[in-house]
Structures are given as structure tokens and as C-alpha cells.
Amino acid sequence: MSELTDLYQEVILDHNRRPHNFRVIDPATAKQEGYNPLCGDRLTLYLTVEDGVIKDVAFQGSGCAISKASASLMTDAVKGKTVAEARSLFDRFHQMITSPPGSALPELGKLSVLAGVRDFPTRVKCAGLAWHTLKAAVSEQAAGPVTTE
Amino acid sequence: MAIAISFDVETIRADFPILASSVHGKPLVYLDNAATTQKPRAVLDALTEYYTSSNANVHRGVHYLSGKATDQYEQARASIARFLGAAEPREIVFTRNATESINLVAQTWGRANIKAGDEILVSAIEHHSNIVPWYMLAAEKGAALRVIPMFDSGELDLEAFARLLTSRTKLVAISALSNALGTVTPVAEIIRQAHAAGAVVVVDGAQAAYHMPIDVRALDCDFFAVTGHKLYGPTGIGVLYGKAALLEAMPPWMGGGDMIASVTFEHCTWNVIPNKFEAGTPDIAGAIGLGVAVEYVSRIGMDRIQAYEQELLAYGTDALRQVEGLRIVGTAPRKASILSFVMDNIHPHDLGTIVDREGVAIRTGQHCAQPVMDRLGIPATARASLAMYNTRQEIDALVAALHKARKVFG
């Protein structure tokens, strides 16, 4: 059962119950939908980006504890960061949740509570939804809704 | 006189090798039968036996093995025709699955008969496989897709159906059993009214075929789609039943070997039914495996299977209702043994992961029925779908695992 408690750590359950930055930003400089059609997880990400810095970030939506906690933790982690820093964080986060079990983990501070996801391959998409949505929101090209299917 | 054999679930379980296996160190409790059922040893043996001693292409060679393979393939067709109550084996077309069966009707009968301004009726409980082929056909032809609404219970609104049924209605596509909610639809009544209005009826029988006896002639449906892998058969094989007169009149779909009578560069003519719809080398082993599967369930008796599953459904419904904060989604008066549910403050996906660690396999998500979820205003459900080999003890294991999830989430 140790893996299960690794996945559902108290921090994750807290973020699920009381997600941070769970609100609408209006007006926002970027708004992006993310959707996982297989499970129905859905979120809208709002960003205020000024001079390449993420001044404010928030989200709304519904999903499992993993996707909600991941979105909540992500908003905390990228607020105040430059877009380039957020992109680099995306890469390291993605590496963390998809690396083989037992391999070395990147140092990701508070985001490390989601490392347990890599032992649950069917849940990687849940943890990744908010991050893929962020990546699309800060990309130069306009894009449709993001899906992790 | 035949002697009735009592329903002995332990004997049936012993026929399914995978049911003895463990998951995460716990005995497997397989409650995802609406997604696919497990396979009895008889089916597994038939596949091995076919490749070991009969493998050859069908309808082609003069050699011994080709004749043997063809005989077995056609015997499987005859078994399935008997199982579904078809008038004759040529009314059974082998396909890949129920989805392909429905697409076959849409692409042949549909494209030949649906015109601009016509209406196609589907219902609110349909699986995507019985929505999207008709959506595509309607878009291509300028026809309209209309939806028979459902009540919150998952029961269809038959009064609304009667109002929707007009001279413009050319086709009614209806599932006999909802995969997401477990609703058994009044398909015989729907067929009777649709026929009175001059419409053709396609029944999606993917779920119904393994939960209840089917008699396509008594139903008087025009088409009936079945998938093999939910009927204890292999994946990759399905069936379309169609009334012979309709199949005869339909244009072919895919072109290739076996579906033709003669081929020149200037002119091709088509084979007789069902071969007209079976272009290319079919899944011969799959068809033979499905034939064995329907013989297997027929020996047990679909009526007896249905009665047993109804007992399980009643037990499971009571057991789930006692779980704090759990709500069953799909409460129609007539249901098969499919239990969809949601739990307060725990998303179905988290439930699915936690009960999996207890060895319990359930489905979570939208069950390829996004309109059902939208209609009920829920993002997803957890679903335990019970088959003839499930037991009360397994339902107890599910309930214990749900209590565990409640504990994890505090």
C-alpha cells in the first residue's frame, strides 16, 4: 500500500480540497482550455503575463484529485516566474512524472509531492493536464483546446 | 426431456483461467465486464486448436485445410445465427466489432437511403458508437439527427419518442442496454412504433448480447450489432445481423477479395450475402472463437445467466447504497447488472486507482457516453459491471475497497 500513500499524500489531498488560485482572472492576457476526453477532466487556465513575467495565474475546472492538486501546485510554482522559467519547469515536471520508477528525480521543491504519479502510468495524464495547458497558453501560436489524450 | 442444471457460479469461474489470478498481491475482482468480458478456456483452446490444426484461408483453396477452415468458419456463423434467433446464417455478417457493424449499416443502407431533410433518431443513452456514425451520415446527406430524451433515472421518455417519430423519420438507432447506466430499453416497443411510422431500426446489442436472451426475429429489428469480446469471445470479431431482404438490397461497403462474383477492369459484380460484406481475409480464428463462446453461454442458458445477474444486481444495488456518500447513477426500473456511481468528494478516477490496489477492476470516466454525462451534469462516474462469473463476495470486496478510498480521502 506504500505506493498508494505516496500518490495520495496529505499535501495533494489538501490541494484537492482547497485548491490555490482557484478563480477567474478577468481580464487575462491569456486563457486556455485543457480537456481530457477519456476521463472528463476539464480546466480553464488564466494568465496575466507582463514583460515576459507571469504576474498572475489561476484556474477553474473539475477533475480528479491528482489533476486538481497538480493545477493548484503549478499555479503556486509559476507565479512570478518568467515564461522561459515556466517552460523549463514544464520540462523538468514532465521528466519527473514520466521517469522510470526507481530512477533519480529532478529537484522540484513542492512539486516533488507529485513524483508518486510515475508509479501509476494511467494517472500521468491527470498530473500533466494543467502543465500541457500552461505550455499551450504561453506558446506563440494560437491553439485550440489542449487534450492529454 | 432435458434436465435443468442449476446455476453453479464456482464451476463457471473454474472455466475462466484469468479469474484465478492476482493483482497487486490481491485476488483479481474483475468488475469491468461492460468494457470486455474474460474468456473461457473453451474459447482459448479453440483459438490454439485452429492455428494448430486448421489454419488456412477460407472460401479459396481446394486443399484439405482450406475446406476445414471454411467449414469451421461457417459453423461459427450458424452457431451465432442460432444464438441470435436469425432465420438463416446468411443474415450474419462478420465484422470487427459492434462499431464496425453500425458503420456498415450507415455507410451502405444509410448512404443509399437517407436523403436531405430526412431524420435519424438516436437516444440520449447511446454509446458514441451509435451516435457518431449517424452524425457523420446526417452531415453528409443534409439529414437531421434527433434525440429521444431520457429521464434523470436513465429511462427513455417514450412519449417524447412518439412525438419525435414522424414521416420524416427514416431510421431509429437504439441501444438495447445502456453501457453507462445499465438501462434496459423497451426495444421491442420502439421497433413496433418505428415500423408503424415506416422507419428502419438498428439495435446496438453490444451490451445486451451477454446479459439477456436475444431473439432478433421476435424483436423484428432490421439490424442488430454485436461485438464478440463482450460476449466471452475474442477481440477483433463482431457481427452484424440484418434481415436478408435488406442486406440483399444494400450496396457493398469495402471492396476486395471474396465480396465479388466477377471482376474485370470494366465491370464488377457482387457476391451473395453475407460474403458481399466480407471483403478480404476475415478474422477466421476470431469467428471460430466467437462461435465457441456462444455455444458455451447457450449451454449455460442466457435466461439462467440473466436471472443470476439480476440477483447480483439487486445485491450490489443494496450493498452500494449502504456506502456513505455514494449515489447510484442510473436507476431505471429495468436494468441489467451495470452499476454506475459517484461518491461525495472523491473523483471516480481516484476511486478507480484506489480500488485497483485492492485487486478490484472497475471502469471510471465517461464510458464513451459523453452526452449521458452532460445530460446528468456529472463529469464522470465509476462503474462496476457484473457478468455471470461474478459473486456476492466480489461485490463485498468492492464495497470494502470503497471504504478504503473513503479512508484515504478522510
Q: Tell me, what DSSP letter sits at residue B18?
A: G
Residues in chain B with CB shorter than 8 Å from the CB of A65 are 346-347, 350, 409
Instruction: Assign A149 a pLDDT band (cuts: 50, 70, 90).
Output: low
A12 to chain B: nearest residue by CA?
Answer: B409
Residue A27, preceding bond cis, omega within 30 degrees? yes
Specify the pLDDT at position A2.
Answer: 59
Query: Nearest CA of chain B to the CA of A57: how many Å?
Result: 24
Contacts of B370 (CB under 8 A, 6+ apart): A37, A40, B128
Specify the pLDDT at position B364.
Answer: 94
Question: Rounded to an integer, what distance in angstroms lies between the CA atom of residue B147 and that of residue B160?
Answer: 9
* A78 in any annotated domain: yes
ipTM for the complex shown? 0.88
Going residue by residue through chain B, which has 410 residues, state the pLDDT in tens, using 9 for 90 and above: 444 456 899 999 999 999 999 999 999 999 999 999 999 999 999 999 999 999 999 988 889 999 999 999 999 999 999 999 999 999 999 999 999 999 999 999 999 999 999 999 999 999 999 999 999 999 999 999 999 999 999 999 999 999 999 999 999 999 999 999 999 999 999 999 999 999 999 999 999 999 999 999 999 999 999 999 999 999 999 999 999 999 999 999 999 999 999 999 999 999 999 999 999 999 999 999 999 999 999 999 999 999 999 999 999 999 999 999 999 999 999 999 999 999 999 999 999 999 999 999 999 988 899 999 999 999 899 999 999 999 999 999 999 999 999 999 97
CB-nearest to B365 from A13, A39, A68 is: A39
For A119, the 3-state DSSP assignment is: helix
Residue A82: burial class (beta carbons within 10 Å; 0-12, 13-18, 19+): middle
Q: How is residue A47 written as a grid cell? A: 494568465
Residues in chain A with CB shorter than 8 Å from the CB of B409 are 8, 13, 65
> Architecture of domain B45-299 in CATH?
3-Layer(aba) Sandwich (3.40)
Question: Rounded to an integer, what distance in angstroms lies between the CA atom of residue B156 and that of residue B148?
Answer: 7
Q: Are A48 and A137 in contact (CB under 8 A)?
A: no
- Length of chain A as a residue count: 149
Specify the pLDDT at position B1.
Answer: 42
Specify the pLDDT at position A142.
Answer: 55
Average pLDDT over residues A51-64: 96
DSSP B55-78: ---TTT-SSHHHHHHHHHHHHHHH
Inter-chain CB proximity A123 and B349 less than 8 Å: yes
Question: Within the 46-65 window of chain A, which residues sit less than 8 Å (CB to CB) from chain B?
Answer: 62-65
Domain segments of chain B as ranges: 9-30+302-409, 45-299
Q: Are A40 and B366 in contact (CB under 8 A)?
A: yes
* A59 in any annotated domain: yes
Residue B238: burial class (beta carbons within 10 Å; 0-12, 13-18, 19+): buried
**Which of B107-136 are b and which e, b meaning 16 or more Cβ less than 10 Å from the residue's Cβ?**
bbbbeebbeeebbbbbbbbbbebbbbbbee
Question: Rounded to an integer, what distance in angstroms lies between the CA atom of residue B179 and that of residue A2?
Answer: 34
Q: From residue B57, how far is each of B50, B128, B258 by CA, in Å?
A: 12, 34, 11
Tracing cell 429495468 back to the chain, one arrives at B334
End-to-end C-alpha distance for chain B, whole angstroms: 59
Question: Rounded to an integer, what distance in angstroms lies between the CA atom of residue B387 and that of residue B300?
Answer: 13
Please give the helix or strand (H or E) that residue B293 lies within, else none: helix B284-300
Phi-psi group of B325: left, alpha or beta (phi > 0 → left; psi -120 to 50 → alpha; rest → beta): left
* A31 in any annotated domain: yes
CB atoms within 10 A of CB B154: 25
A110 touches chain B (CB under 8 A): no
Residue A56: burial class (beta carbons within 10 Å; 0-12, 13-18, 19+): middle
Inter-chain CB proximity B347 and A64 less than 8 Å: yes
Question: Rounded to an integer, what distance in angstroms lies between the CA atom of residue B294 and that of residue B307?
Answer: 18
What's the structural domain count of chain A?
Answer: 1
Specify the pLDDT at position B336.
Answer: 98
Q: Supply the range of the domain harboring residue A57.
A: 2-139
Return the number of CB contacts < 8 Å for A and B: 56
Tracing cell 419518442 back to the chain, one arrives at B161
Inter-chain CB proximity A123 and B353 less than 8 Å: yes
Phi-psi group of B348: left, alpha or beta (phi > 0 → left; psi -120 to 50 → alpha; rest → beta): alpha
Among B368, B375, B378, B396, the one annotated catalytic: B368
Specify the pLDDT at position B265.
Answer: 95
Question: Rounded to an integer, what distance in angstroms lies between the CA atom of residue A67 and that of residue A41?
Answer: 8
Residue B268 is a catalytic residue: no
**Which of B313-329 are b and which e, b meaning 16 or more Cβ less than 10 Å from the residue's Cβ?**
bebbbebbeebeebebb
* A8 in any annotated domain: yes
B379 to chain A: nearest residue by CA?
Answer: A40
* A144 in any annotated domain: no
> Architecture of domain B9-30+302-409 in CATH?
Alpha-Beta Complex (3.90)
Residues in chain B with CB shorter than 8 Å from the CB of A124 are none
Question: Rounded to an integer, what distance in angstroms lies between the CA atom of residue B282 and that of residue B53?
Answer: 18
Specify the pLDDT at position A143.
Answer: 57
Q: From residue B105, how far is each of A82, B248, B261 by CA, in Å?
A: 55, 13, 21
List residues of chain B with CB under 8 Å from any CB of chain A: 345-350, 353-354, 357, 364-366, 370, 373, 379-380, 408-410
Q: How is residue B378 written as a grid cell? A: 456529472
Q: Are B305 and B281 in contact (CB under 8 A)?
A: no
Q: Which of B171, B245, B161 is nearest to B201 (CA)?
A: B171
CB-nearest to B366 from A40, A123, A126 is: A40
* A32 in any annotated domain: yes
Specify the pLDDT at position B180.
Answer: 96
A15 touches chain B (CB under 8 A): no
Question: Rounded to an integer, what distance in angstroms lies between the CA atom of residue B352 and that of residue B150?
Answer: 27
For an interface test with A, give the residue of B344, B349, B356, B381 to mutate (most A CBs within 10 A).
Answer: B349
Inter-chain CB proximity B347 and A120 less than 8 Å: no
* A96 in any annotated domain: yes
Residues in chain B with CB shorter than 8 Å from the CB of A1 are 357
A91 touches chain B (CB under 8 A): no
Inter-chain CB proximity A41 and B349 less than 8 Å: yes
Q: What is the CATH number of the domain that holds A80?
A: 3.90.1010.10
